[in-house]
Structure 1
Amino acid sequence: MKHLIFICGLFLISPLLKSCSDSDSIVVENEEVTNIELDLKSEELIEADNAFGLDLFKEVNAELDEGKNLMISPLSISLALAMVYNGADGNTKTQMENMLHKAGFSANQINEAYQTLVESLTDHDPKVKLSIVNAIFYDQDFSVKSDFISTNQTFYDAEVEELDFNNSSSTLNRVNGWVKDKTNNKISKIIDQVSAEDVMYLMNAIYFKGQWTYQFEKDNTTDRAFYTENENELQVPTMMLDETTLNYTGTSQFQLLELPYGGEKYSMLILLPNEEYSTDDVIAEMNQSNLNDLLENLHERNLKVYLPKFEFAYANSLVDNLKALGMNDAFFASLSDFSGISDIPDLYISEVKHKSYIKVDEEGTEAAAVTGVTFGVTSVGPEPVFDVNRPFVFAIREKDTNAILFMGKVNNPLLNE
């Protein structure tokens, strides 16, 4: 029995910009921020990705251990699944379409829309470095259909390499070396061993590095109280931004603050639950319509901001989550149909692995979080201080398209995993 190991590697790399080497610095001279204008299908695809991301975020959050931190990338997962989708057929393909909210799209429309989106995002803001890369590694004894390879090379710029999977040490070194290289050494490996039945690894890596538009001064960082959801008080290094004009909105359940990066095309959204609510309350109400309402209702407000520094890694298998969302047949050899990849009849996905890393400091950040909560009415204006002193949800988005790159929540800023 053969396996298709599908590995979705999400890599979020935080910028300690001033400590980076010259070769890794962000060059901004004589470069301008671009504007992204998408066609209708590309806009619909982003809406579908965001909807899928919210669905998945809820599933992953529901099984999260109490007090732990969480981060996923809907874009990374969607891109990796899109490559797999090019080899799916029958009920397997239909289930993937429904789960990804892409029923009604043709394969060509999906591929072209992703190609346009990725090309637009990666050279969008000179003060934000965004790299989105894909790879396919397959066993030299495994026969892969040329159309599957050429499609993923054409639309996803996938790096394709044939390896000797019988030489497990060499294969591990090559695959994990690719991961280490594409994540600037922040994640050292994605696979622990090469199974005798492994025949293919599909990879996606996203690297994000951005400077705050309004930087937090290091001299203003002090230890402040942070209250966990079980009412423990922690002393956490907390950054402070003096009163600044920022985008803000509020609902009956939470406050939403937008902190921009660079030329303000990318931003972090911070959803801070009101004291009588929890992050789970906020996440439970998320949907695409609510998210759109929130973003449309952002308005300028002068606020002083306190934000804890944090750094953590996250790792998880997404197999059970994807099954729960309706992508079931792909994980069973007796049900799966990946005839677009190979003529081997029992080809199926044995693993979907997801890893991420984030660090937020005074100079910049990279993170994940999405929010869409039933939009309520805030009858009283907020205090002129936005104090993130309790668990919160966060997201990184591109503003022209509203594409959500990353989603997450912080229960404890002191936890590193």
Structure 2
Amino acid sequence: MASSQDFTNEILQGNAAFTNKIYKILSRTPGNVFFSPFSLHIIIAMAYQGSGNVTLETIQKVFQIPDPLSTAIGYQEITRNLTSLKNALLHTAFKIYLRKEFRLLSSFENTVKKYFESEVQSLDFDQTSAAVKEINEWVSEKTHGKIEDIVNDDLIASTSLLLLNAIYFKGSWDIPFSERKTKVRNFYLNDDDVVKVQMMNGVKYVFYNCNKQLMSQILALPYEGGIYMVIFLPVYKNGIGELEALLSEMNHSEIFSQLDYTAVDVFLPKFKFETTMEMDDLMKETGLEVIYDEEKADFRGMIELAEGENLCVTKILQKACIEVNEKGSAVAAPVVEEYVPVGFPKVKREFVKVIVDHPAVFMIVAGLFEKPNVLFYGRLSHPEEVTNSGILSGFVNFVRKPFKTINRIF
């Protein structure tokens, strides 16, 4: 008989495959890239609880997850493990807002409350300004003020059902970089263009490998609490495209299993940037066209629908922002403490040097060596593109109207 552990393993394996598929598409976009495959996967898994027929089968196939209830049980275990990490601040939050005249089906409401710990609230969406204020305040609270004004009057005016997911991560390096060693250095955007950046530096105890297949140095910088920033640095300054093509076809677990614990002289630029992506074309390209089809989509397990009404997705949006500095990521206040995992080999004394002075891929990963869970994934192309600091929110927005209209996922 399958256990919650089996469901967890299947979900994480499916999420890894989906992550590769999504990033392969996003890598066509120039410049900085940053998103959360975990947030996207889990918010669709929540909507999956109210799906049926071809819609259910398609989500199950594309996301490579078990049946809806098993997925809910598995994700309950995953989120509990993440939020219980010691010395790491990682919060996930869910909320459903629905137009006051509509009602969630009890089976869907009970599932999202029990397994996703989602709040449910009825709102008068005709009082547009008040509804916008309520929703934006919830998002701001759950992301510690880092994401604000995510919905507007036009969105709310057409909304019947809004599913929200917010993820907040505040990570302190296990050994912070010294601000005194941060110096201005070159960052090569390509073979010809160079910008000046604030480059941090320090000898760090990390997991490292020079991967010949990927033609890259791989560096796993530990945060307190068992979460890592994994950096993939191409050997060549213009090697980012080839790295991304190769990386999208490889198994993350196999890559991470080749890392050795050692001392590395790390040069890493400070950076912060924000991305906002409408994911609809991307999601359709993965094979999820049916969830947007006004006639074929089946989310009838979510809310009470009259004859001739339907529910389908109209938009998927994800907003993410990250900041990396001497203390860690996001708005971390560091606790200076050396952390050496038990059972790993003693530190080698010869220092490898890793200088992140040209475009690289990075991930923020929980469970690096056991069951990798890629929480965030990005490309650092230009450290000077400065906006906001480190958070992510995902949203699912549904609209119910007669027959062929309906819904949004944010």
TM-score by length of structure 1 reads 0.82
Match of 2:247 in 1: 286
Output the CA distance in 2 between the equivalents of 1:147 and 1:333.
23
Match of 2:220 in 1: 258
Question: Match of 2:101, SS?
Answer: coil
After TM superposition, give the deviation of residue 53 of structure 1 in Å.
1.5
Within 5 Å, which residues of 2 pair with 1:37-48?
39-48=5-14
1:356 partnered with 2:316: no
Within 5 Å, which residues of 2 pair with 1:243-322?
244-252=204-212, 253-263=215-225, 265-275=226-236, 277-287=238-248, 289-322=250-283
Question: Match of 1:239, SS?
Answer: strand
Question: Match of 1:236, SS?
Answer: strand
Question: Match of 2:160, SS?
Answer: strand
Counterpart residue identity of residue 118, structure 1: T
Output the CA distance in 2 between the equivalents of 1:321 and 1:177.
29
Contact 2:190 2:238 in 1 (8 A): no
Output the CA distance in 2 between the equivalents of 1:204 and 1:54.
22
Match of 1:95 in 2: 58
Question: Match of 2:71, SS?
Answer: helix
Output the CA distance in 2 between the equivalents of 1:366 and 1:82.
26
After TM superposition, give the deviation of residue 277 of structure 1 in Å.
4.9
1:416 partnered with 2:380: no
Of residues 155-164 and 357-366 in structure 1, the stretch that sits farther from structure 2 once superposed is 357-366
Q: CA RMSD in A?
A: 1.9
After TM superposition, give the deviation of residue 230 of structure 1 in Å.
5.6
Output the CA distance in 1 between the equivalents of 2:103 and 2:94.
20
Output the CA distance in 1 between the equivalents of 2:268 and 2:378.
15
Contact 1:57 1:72 in 2 (8 A): no
1:156 partnered with 2:116: yes
Contact 2:98 2:122 in 1 (8 A): yes
After TM superposition, give the deviation of residue 129 of structure 1 in Å.
0.2
Output the CA distance in 1 between the equivalents of 2:145 and 2:71.
32
Output the CA distance in 2 between the equivalents of 1:282 and 1:315.
24
Within 5 Å, which residues of 2 pair with 1:334-345?
334-342=295-303, 343-344=305-306, 345=309
Of residues 75-84 and 270-279 in structure 1, the stretch that sits farther from structure 2 once superposed is 270-279
**Which of 57, 64, 82 is 2:23 aligned to?**
57
Question: Match of 1:245, SS?
Answer: strand
Match of 1:123 in 2: 84
Match of 1:7 in 2: none
Question: What residue ranges of structure 1 are gaps of 5+ in the alignment?
Answer: 1-36, 368-381
1:308-345 deviation line (CA, Å, top 9, x unaligned): 00011110111111100001111121221111113253
After TM superposition, give the deviation of residue 41 of structure 1 in Å.
2.4
After TM superposition, give the deviation of residue 276 of structure 1 in Å.
6.0
Match of 2:125 in 1: 165
Task: Report percent identity of matched pairs.
Answer: 26
Specify which structure has the bigger relative contact order, considering alpha-carbon pairs within 8 angstroms and separated by 6 or more residues.
1
1:200 partnered with 2:164: no
Counterpart residue identity of residue 361, structure 2: V
1:5-28 deviation line (CA, Å, top 9, x unaligned): xxxxxxxxxxxxxxxxxxxxxxxx
Match of 1:214 in 2: 175
Output the CA distance in 1 between the equivalents of 2:104 and 2:69.
20
After TM superposition, give the deviation of residue 366 of structure 1 in Å.
5.0
1:181 partnered with 2:151: no
Counterpart residue identity of residue 380, structure 2: V
After TM superposition, give the deviation of residue 353 of structure 1 in Å.
1.0
Output the CA distance in 1 between the equivalents of 2:207 and 2:377.
19
Of residues 220-229 and 400-409 in structure 1, the stretch that sits farther from structure 2 once superposed is 400-409
1:327 partnered with 2:297: no
After TM superposition, give the deviation of residue 209 of structure 1 in Å.
0.6
Output the CA distance in 2 between the equivalents of 1:290 and 1:148.
34
Output the CA distance in 2 between the equivalents of 1:349 and 1:331.
5
Output the CA distance in 1 between the equivalents of 2:165 and 2:242.
31
TM-score by length of structure 2 reads 0.84
Question: Match of 1:136, SS?
Answer: strand
Output the CA distance in 2 between the equivalents of 1:196 and 1:302.
56
After TM superposition, give the deviation of residue 286 of structure 1 in Å.
2.6
Aligned length: 359
Output the CA distance in 1 between the equivalents of 2:240 and 2:64.
25
After TM superposition, give the deviation of residue 216 of structure 1 in Å.
0.2
Closer, same or farther in 2 for the Cα pair 1:276/1:312, shift >3 Å? closer
Contact 2:90 2:167 in 1 (8 A): yes
Output the CA distance in 2 between the equivalents of 1:250 and 1:262.
24
Within 5 Å, which residues of 2 pair with 1:233-248?
233-242=194-203, 244-248=204-208
After TM superposition, give the deviation of residue 416 of structure 1 in Å.
2.2
Output the CA distance in 2 between the equivalents of 1:114 and 1:195.
29
